[in-house]
Chains A and B, each alone.
Chain A
Amino acid sequence: EAQVTQNPRYLITVTGKKLTVTCSQNMNHEYMSWYRQDPGLGLRQIYYSMNVEVTDKGDVPEGYKVSRKEKRNFPLILESPSPNQTSLYFCASSPIKTGPNSPLHFGNGTRLTVT
């Protein structure tokens, strides 16, 4: 089944404790991206990647890191989480070859709470 898989689904952590949210897609998509969703703000892009070893900042990159060492994986790293990073996070992917009308395929989300 074609899918984007994020883990974990739920995560509660404390301020300053490094964490990684994993994301993997099995559709051979070139484009991958991370979003955070907050009430009243919709989804905002954190980072994106157009292909292996190519990453760039989105609209709200502060406090986050990413890497794209393999085409299928795009982990999100919070080196020192803070309470304002409590949010619902989505990983998404899309093919580039089929053009800009291809929808983003989303993972099921990771609900992160930082205390």
Chain B
Amino acid sequence: AQKITQTQPGMFVQEKEAVTLDCTYDTSDQSYGLFWYKQPSSGEMIFLIYQGSYDEQNATEGRYSLNFQKARKSANLVISASQLGDSAMYFCAMRERGDYKLSFGAGTTVTVRA
């Protein structure tokens, strides 16, 4: 069964606007971690933000924030004030308790328009 689901294959956003990337996950563990990575066209994987399952506050890192809704098992990434350099593929990933593997979603391609 798919552990991470990203339902938006591609999105367009206007420069300076905010964009929300959806991510839902499936786990029976109580302790887990959620990660978002960015992959620009050059191909490297860049870590953006982390949310632990026991964290009470939503994680934020600069223009990135994570809208964590534990009961709904969702961990949406919000990018505020989009910039042209935000055009990339974004991956949601989960690490379950006792395992160092990351399970990835299929990714969402974001294109920022000027």
A residues lining the B interface (CB < 8 Å): 31, 33, 35, 40-45, 48, 50, 58, 88, 90, 92, 94, 96, 100-101, 103-106, 108-109, 111
Are A43 and B44 also in contact (CB < 8 A) when A100-B97, A101-B33, A103-B35 are? Answer: no
Indicate if the CB atoms of B43 and A109 lie closer than 8 Å: yes
In the complex, chain B residues whose CB is within 8 Å of the CB of A40: 106
Indicate if the CB atoms of A94 and B52 lie closer than 8 Å: no
B residues lining the A interface (CB < 8 Å): 4, 6, 31, 33, 35, 37, 43-45, 47, 50, 52, 91, 93, 95, 97, 99-102, 104-107
Q: Contacting A104 at CB < 8 Å: which of B6, B31, B102, B105?
A: B102
Are A44 and B104 also in contact (CB < 8 A) when A88-B43, A103-B47 are? Answer: yes
Indicate if the CB atoms of B101 and A33 lie closer than 8 Å: yes
How distant is the Cα of A109 from the Cα of B46 in the complex, in angstroms?
12
Q: Is the interface of A mostly helix, strand, loop or mixed?
A: strand
Q: List the count of A-B residue pairs having beta carbons below 8 Å apart.
A: 55
A11 → chain B closest CB, angstroms: 14
Indicate if the CB atoms of B43 and A43 lie closer than 8 Å: no
Indicate if the CB atoms of A45 and B91 lie closer than 8 Å: no
